[in-house]
Each structure stands twice: as structure tokens, then as C-alpha cells.
Amino acid sequence: MNGSLYSNSVMKIIAVNVAIFAVQSLFFAGETLSQFIRYFGLTPALVTGEGYVWQFFSYMFLHGSFWHIFFNMYALLIFGIQIEQAWGTKRFLKYYLFTGIGAGLTIFIVNGFIDSSLSMVPTIGASGAVFGVLLAFGVLFPNAELLLFFVLPIKAKYLVIMYGVFTLSALLSTGTGGNISHAGHLGGLIFGILYFLYQSKFGKPLRTKAFKAKTSFETKKSNAIKRTETEQRTEDLMNILRKLKEKGIDSLTDDDFQKYKYAEIMFADSDKDHLCSEKDFDLNEEYCKECEFIESCIIREMEKYIK
């Protein structure tokens, strides 16, 4: 993952949503709340009549109740973290906003033109973007098992298909009315599909992108582990060398000797042609600390005190 759990875009998006909901709940009620939602929620008539184009962005950060924001943010946390690990923060954030604004455009078209009776009804919530995140999870991790209703195991790819069919059928059967924006949900899925079609360059299978994202994440994770192991090994060797210089060979423990012997086998006879001269080696120099042959140099220094 790029950064710690509390520094990535998923946690920041959740924090912003929670903060706005707290402000909305504490400082707005009745008519003032209606005006607040009217100004920042997505109202098609106000977009066309008053030029409130920011509503395509702002609507996804407002929520109507505790459970509304809870389920949206819970889904974003569960699925979004995995996607951001695979893609990186920048790409995930772009995708989230793309599907959220795309869902807003869908709501604008459906409520503003297909059923114009709803043109003055505001829509709020991150559900459209969350449905886009769900689609991405199904594409990137199609065989990951999830628990439907916290009980029934189902693979992610089938859950996405099921949600898509349910959302479309709900929109066709119940129309655009009601408290649930099926148009927004469907819009999030549609714009998610458009994103993957664009990324696949209009021909390559979507699974190719999924495989690349997954393998890229696994490679980054593997490289990070290797870097951590190398850094720890180098630090151990440097500490042993300092002991030798300051207190001599008798100060070394059995564990120190084991680490030295392992490093000697691995690095003492390798890459000698690439090492700098002994007089240039300095543990305090950044150049030496970042050199790929630092273990070999440390072993060379240790041999002066051990042999």
C-alpha cells in the first residue's frame, strides 16, 4: 500500500464524509438543512437553471442518515482499501471521482430529462461511487469470496453481476422515484465499465488489466518485504561491526557470530570487483548506506577484526 492505512485516499475520503455529516447533523436542521442539501445536493433543475455545476461533485459527500453513511463508508473501506493497494492512491482517487461524477451525470439525465418531475428533487450520497468501487473489486479480484448478507458466500464477480441486474430491474420496475437512487447506482456501474473499457484500449480482455493490477501489487509487496529484510540485515551487520571496532571480538554474542557467518557465506566472496577501495568505505556516508554492495563492504571490514 502507498503509505500507512491512515494516510491513503480511502481513509481520507471516509474522514471527509464523516466530518461533513457531523457538521450537517450538528448545525443544520429543518429549513436550514433543506437549503444546505438544496445547495450541495444534486438537483438537476438547479444545475441547468442556476448553473450549480459543483453539485456533480459535492452531492457524493452528503448523506441523509447515520445508516446511509455507515453502509456507504463500510463498503468503501472493505473494497476500496484492496483496490488502492493494487492501483496506488492517485489512480484509485481518479477512479472514485470518475465513477461518482459519472453517477451524478446519470442522475442528472434520468431525473432531469427522462422523468422531469424529479428535476427539483435533490440526490445525495456516495452510493454511485461506491458501486463503481464494487465493480472494480469484482474485476480485479473476481474470485475473492464475500459474504452476502454476512452469511452466504459468493464470489465477487457474481456479486457485481447480481447487483447490476438488481439495480437495473429496480429502476425499470419502480421508476426513478423512492428514497434509493437506482439511477445513481447504475451510473456508478456503467461509468466503472467505461473506465475499464478505456483502460483496456478497446480490445484487450478486462481480466488482463485485473491480472496486471494484481501481479503489480504482489510484486510491490514482495519488493517491499525484500527491502525491509535487506535493511534489517544491513543494520545488524553495521551494529556488529561497531561492536568489533569499539570492544573487540569478545563482545560478540553467539547470535552476532551466526549473523556474521551467514553474511560471510552470502556476500564475502561476491562482487569484489565492484567494491570501492577500503579507504573510501564509511558507514556514515549516505552513498555507502545506499550502495547495493554494502553487505560485502561490511564483511570486508569485519574480517580485519575477526581473522
- For the stretch 251-280, pLDDT in tens is 878 777 777 776 666 665 545 555 666 666
Measuring CA to CA, which residue among 166, 16, 171 is closest to residue 96?
16
What average pLDDT does the segment 164-171 reach? Answer: 58
* Cα angle 146, 151, 152; round to 5: 60
Q: Which residue has the higher pLDDT, 281 or 238?
A: 238
Specify the pairing of strand 152-155 against strand 145-148. Answer: antiparallel
Q: What pLDDT is attached to residue 147? A: 61
What average pLDDT does the segment 76-93 reach? Answer: 87
Given a cut of 90, whether residue 17 has pLDDT beyond it is: yes
- CA–CA dist 124, 107 (Å, integer): 10
- CA–CA dist 113, 105 (Å, integer): 11
Q: Which residue has the higher pLDDT, 189 or 286?
A: 189
Q: Which residue has the higher pLDDT, 50 or 271?
A: 50
- Domain segments of the chain as ranges: 5-199, 217-306
Residue 112 CB contacts under 8 Å (≥ 6 apart), including other chains: 44, 45, 47, 48, 118, 119
Q: What pLDDT is attached to residue 7? A: 47
What average pLDDT does the segment 4-10 reach? Answer: 63
Given a cut of 70, whether residue 295 has pLDDT beyond it is: yes
Q: What pLDDT is attached to residue 279? A: 65
- CA–CA dist 135, 197 (Å, integer): 13
Given a cut of 70, whether residue 91 has pLDDT beyond it is: yes
pLDDT band at residue 99 using 50, 70 and 90 as cut-offs: very high
pLDDT band at residue 86 using 50, 70 and 90 as cut-offs: confident
Q: Which residue has the higher pLDDT, 1 or 153?
A: 153
Q: What pLDDT is attached to residue 259? A: 73
Measuring CA to CA, which residue among 293, 287, 291, 244 is closest to residue 268?
293
What average pLDDT does the segment 30-41 reach? Answer: 90
What average pLDDT does the segment 282-296 reach? Answer: 68
Query: What 3 state SS string does the chain have?
Result: CCCCHHHCHHHHHHHHHHHHHHHHHHHCCHHHHHHHHHHHCECHHHHHHHCCCCHHHHHHHCCCCHHHHHHHHHHHHHHHHHHHHHHCHHHHHHHHHHHHHHHHHHHHHHHHHHCHHHCCCCECCCHHHHHHHHHHHHHHCCCCEEEECCCEEEEHHHHHHHHHHHHHHHHHHHCCCCCCCHHHHHHHHHHHHHHHHHHCCCCCCHHHHHHHHHHHHHHHHHHHHHHHHHHHHHHHHHHHHHHHHHHCHHHCCHHHHHHHHHHHHHHHCCCHHHCCCHHHCCCCCHHHHCCCCHHHHHHHHHHHHHC
Q: What pLDDT is attached to residue 240? A: 78
Q: What pLDDT is attached to residue 98? A: 95
What average pLDDT does the segment 18-43 reach? Answer: 91
- CA–CA dist 102, 136 (Å, integer): 15
User: Over the chain, what is the mean pLDDT?
Assistant: 76
Task: Please report, rounded to a whole number, the percentage of residues in the chain having pLDDT higher than 90.
Answer: 19
User: CB atoms < 10 A from the CB of 39, how many?
Assistant: 15
- CA–CA dist 186, 23 (Å, integer): 29
Which pTM value belongs to this model? 0.61
β-partners of residue 123 are: 42
Given a cut of 70, whether residue 290 has pLDDT beyond it is: no
C-alpha cell at 275: 567494491
* Cα angle 126, 127, 133; round to 5: 95
Highest mean pLDDT among 14-23, 205-214, 230-239, 261-270: 14-23
Segment among 85-99, 126-140, 255-269 with least mean pLDDT: 255-269
- Contact of 100 with 41, CB cutoff 8 Å: no
Q: Check: CATH 1.10.600.10 for 5-199?
A: no
